Each structure stands twice: as C-alpha cells, then as structure tokens.
Amino acid sequence: MLISSNPPELIWIWAGVAVYAVATPLALTGKASSPLREKLLLGLLGLSLVLFALAIEIRWMRIGHGPFINLFEILSSSLFSLGLIYTLAFWRLPLLRPSAVVTLPIMLILGLWLLVVNPVDSHLPPTYDTPWLWAHVITGKVFLGFCLLALGLAGAILLRQSGFTRRFSSIPDDIVLDLLAWRFMGVALVFQSLMLIAGAVWAQDAWGRYWAWDPIETWALLTWLAVAAAQHLRATFRISPWLGAIMILGIFILAFLTFFGVPFISASPHKGAI
C-alpha cells in the first residue's frame, strides 16, 4: 500500500474542521433567532464546504481516484456531502435552522474523528471502476444527508421536551417538526432503496453475486428494515412526536454504524473489495 504520512490535502481538512469548531459554539450560544447569526452560520457552512471540496480535489488529483476506499476518504467525502445537504436545507428552510444545535456538533465530531484517522493513500481495485459505484455512493450520501436533516428536527423535539425550550422557541410545534422529519425520512428511504439496488448491481458485476451478507450489506439491510418498521409503526399506532424522534435517533445510529462503524473495523467497506 502507498503511504503518505502528511498528505497536502490535510491542511484543508484541518481548516474545514476548524470552521466547524467555530460554527458549533456559535450555533449553541446566543439568541434563539438572530438573522445575523444565521447568516454567519450559513457563511461558515459554505466556507467549510469549499475547504472540504478543495481537500477532496487535491487528494483525487494526487492519487488518481475519488474518495471511496478507506475510512479517511469515506469520512472526508461524508463531511462534504452531509455539509452540502445541510447547508442547502439551512439556506432554503428557515424552519430547520435551530436544528444546527444538533447537527453541527455531529459534524464537528465527524471532523475531529477525521483528524485522527490515518490519511494513508489507497489503491482503487479494478472492480471499483464502474458507474454503479458512483450511483451507489451518491444515493447513499443523499440517504444519510436526509437522515441528518430528520435527526436535526428529532433532536429539536427531544431537547424541547427535555426542557431546553429557549433555543427552539421560534420553530413550530413538535407535531409539525415530526411531520417534516418523517418526510425527510421518506426521502431517505427512497434514496436508501436506490443505494441498495445500485450496490447490488455493482456487487454482481464486481464479485459475481448481488448479495453475500457481508457486514456492510447486512447493516444496510437492517437500517432499511428499521426505516420500514418505523413507517409501519407510525401507520399502525398513534406515535407521539417524542417516540417518533427516538425512532429517528435509532435509525440514524444504525445508519451511522453502517457508514462509518463497518469501515472502522474492516480493512475495506465491502468484503472481497480489495
């Protein structure tokens, strides 16, 4: 394996994480609804996007392939994709802005984790040279992005019901947040289904099987089943916004483990990939 202990893109990663380190306390403190602070947050979110995009581009040009292989690449590309989806939502949906209290600490934790992950260069296996990989990765990132949006609202519901009302005084009732959060989960389910289909086509071409119960496949299926089960629970029983928020939190944890936990304990995201 090629080794690069101090790759040039690391400086931009550090800068991107530093922006989150500034943005997170800004989201956690101050007045509940301040247009200036929201503009500042939007600017910082945009700046972090540019910095992570630069880091990914420099690495891509240097090693000749996209961020698909090891945990360093998966984390950096996820910081970019999650940041992109959250920034767009933050910009277009003012109702969502107070959820920065929940989402920005998560982004900061991901960023800090990235700083301690070995930035070793990776080798792109020939089976990764397919458009299905792109379809699989992009739909997966969109899925996780919408889970993050739902989690932001779920977190707002949970925090408000735990007594942290001041920060969320400007946003609608829990029942509205719950409805919007589950709409995000609906979009997430659509993209997760597409991710599973694209992944199965890729796996069939790459390894001669569309499903093999490898760790990431199994956890991805469990996440899909968890979303399906949650939707059926909501259709069957009268689920309170609090319980709905707990379910979203559980689904996000499952998705998080699938995306980052499996690559953390495994040499490659998929069995037989390298």
Binding region for other proteins (CB under 8 A): 1-2, 95, 123, 125-127, 129-130, 172-173, 175-176, 179-180, 182-183, 186-187, 189-190, 193-194, 197, 201, 204-210, 213-215, 218, 221-222, 225-226, 228-229, 231-236, 238
Give yes or no for a contact between 198 and 136, defined as CB atoms under 8 angstroms apart: yes
Buried/exposed 210-223: b ≥16 CB within 10 Å, e otherwise: eeeebbbbebbeeb
Q: Which residue has the tokens 């979203």?
A: 248
Kindly state the smallest distance separating residue 265's Cβ from other proteins, in Å: 12
Kindly state the smallest distance separating residue 124's Cβ from other proteins, in Å: 8
Q: Which residue has the tokens 């956690």?
A: 28
Q: Give dist(CA 65, CA 67) in Å, integer.
A: 7
Kindly state the smallest distance separating residue 48's Cβ from other proteins, in Å: 28
Closer by beta carbon to other proteins, 24 or else 258: 258
Closer by beta carbon to other proteins, 77 or else 192: 192
Phi-psi domain of 272 (left: phi exceeds 0; alpha: psi -120 through 50; beta: other) = left
Q: Give dist(CA 139, CA 2) in Å, integer.
A: 29
Kindly state the smallest distance separating residue 117's Cβ from other proteins, in Å: 21
Encode 148-187 in three state secondary structure: HHHHHHHHHHHHHHCCCCHHHCCCCCHHHHHHHHHHHHHH
Closer by beta carbon to other proteins, 28 or else 62: 62
Kindly state the smallest distance separating residue 22's Cβ from other proteins, in Å: 31
Crossing angle of the two packed helices 131-161 and 100-116, in degrees rounded to 10? 130
Kindly state the smallest distance separating residue 252's Cβ from other proteins, in Å: 17
Closer by beta carbon to other proteins, 57 or else 173: 173
Closer by beta carbon to other proteins, 88 or else 194: 194
Closer by beta carbon to other proteins, 80 or else 132: 132
State both tokens at 188: 């997430």
